[in-house]
Amino acid sequence: MNQAIERVARALQRAERILIITGAGLSADSGLPTYRGLGGLYNGKTAEGLPIEEALSGPMLRRDPALCWKYLAELGKACLSAQPNAGHQAIADLQRIKPACWVLTQNIDSYHRRAGSPAERLIEIHGELEPLYCQSCGAQSDELTAHLQRPLPPKCARCGGVLRPPVVLFEEMLPEQAIDQLYAELRKGFDVVLSVGTTASFPYIVEPLLRTRAAGGFTAEINPSRTEFSQAVDVHLQGRALDILPQLLGHIRGDKSLQ
Give catalytic residues, as residue numbers.
126
List of E strands, 142-183: 163-164
101 touches 94 (CB < 8 A): yes
CA distance 134 to 157: 9
CA distance 10 to 248: 9
104 touches 200 (CB < 8 A): no
Vertex 134 angle, CA 144 and 137, to 5°: 150
Count of residues making up the chain: 259
- Whole-angstrom CA distances from 42 to 35, 54, 71, 189, 227 are 6, 12, 10, 36, 20
CA distance 76 to 72: 6
Which residues sit opposite 222 in a β-bridge?
Answer: 196, 237
Give the list of residues 6+ apart from residue 256 with CB closer than 8 angstroms, or none. none
